[in-house]
Amino acid sequence: MNSRRDFLQKLTGSALAFSLLPRYANSSILHMHAYEGPVLRVALMGLGSYATRVAEAMQACQKAKITGLISGTPAKLKTWQGKYNVPDQNCYNYETFDAIRNNPDIDAVYVLTPNALHHDEVIRVAKTGKHVICEKPMGLNAKEGAEMVTACKAAGVKLLVGYRMHFEPNTLEIIRMRNEGAFGKIKFFQGLSGFRIGDPKQWRLNKQLAGGGSLMDIGIYSINGARYMTGEEPLWVTAQETKTDPVKFKDGVDETIQFQLGFPSGAVASCLSTYSMNYLDRFFLDGENGFAELQPATNYGPIKGRTHKGELNYPHIAHQTRQMEEMSDILLAGKQPIVPVDGGEALKDLKIIDAIYQATQTGKKVELSAL
């Protein structure tokens, strides 16, 4: 698996920095003393580049640890075993991982494989009785997403999705300010999500594995961001696709999509998803009484923000560290996050993705209530 983006960030943080965190950003990782509570025991499925980032970030966790590994590559399993001290009996391949049902060392499985594999793997994990964390997009479409949510509910397990930005302190501060009316009536959101993708042979440019192109990878950040920044669910979608390199971006693999969303309050969003332009990582929220901006808005950090009241400079801690600590509390202690990260939240994004693709194909406005 190739890197999503080349943002490499060291874990940082200090007692002084922790004291500056906003109220909505209180994270379970910010302990000033040793943690002695329950620990979420996690098996990572799919040991590629993003799994590497997750694994490294989890070394700073107090409430979550790696206790299992699932991979189709024996040599990779051996390497990761040694690095993260995972015993042989907790290592599986894709043919044998159903046996985790009998493994008390594993509470949850984090599915980090290509998009097209999520559906079947999440359902298989659910049937073992283990909780599931799945990378986004949760599935290839809303039909798959609904089946995944139903399967996890039937199995009595929780399904969470890797929405790391839902725990990011600058983002949460803007949400707090919006909820308190600091921006007044929200009128407009802009989301720009893009980068120039490299290796043309990577799975993200393979329709069978990715389910699409830029929208299924980087564009989902603007879709999800439009929802949590405005605090509303869209009613309609319009969209236009542009393709300048049909050799690299074959049929069914979108290069660039512009899309627009309309919300019940009358607010509108204008967003861009692309695999052919760099320096596109910006959210802008405009209200009658103020504004908020994040730039960068969703990369691996540090995230930078400002509002009409001044700069937001909350300390950076690896997003995956925050995510896994918070997900431990959600799964083990029933904590409710400020912004949901469950399968139902992901299903809403998949419905919008379906609508965007439909709009690009028909050239017509798509009413989300009809989906």
Please identify which of the residues 136, 158, 348, 351 carries the catalytic annotation: 136
8-state DSSP, 183: T
- Residue 221 designated active-site: yes
Question: Can you tell me which residue has the tokens 């993003």?
Answer: 50
Measured distance CA(93)–CA(351) in Å, rounded: 32
Q: At what angle do helices 49-58 and 74-84 cross, to 10 degrees?
A: 10
Measured distance CA(23)–CA(85) in Å, rounded: 36
Measured distance CA(346)–CA(163) in Å, rounded: 9
- Residue 92 designated active-site: no
Other CB atoms within 10 Å distance of the CB of residue 40: 24
CB–CB of 355/371 below 8 Å? yes
Please identify which of the residues 221, 228, 275, 300 carries the catalytic annotation: 221
Q: Where are the alpha helices (DSSP H) in the chain?
A: 15-18, 49-58, 74-84, 118-127, 142-155, 169-179, 207-210, 214, 220-230, 319-333, 343-362
Residues designated as active site? 136, 221
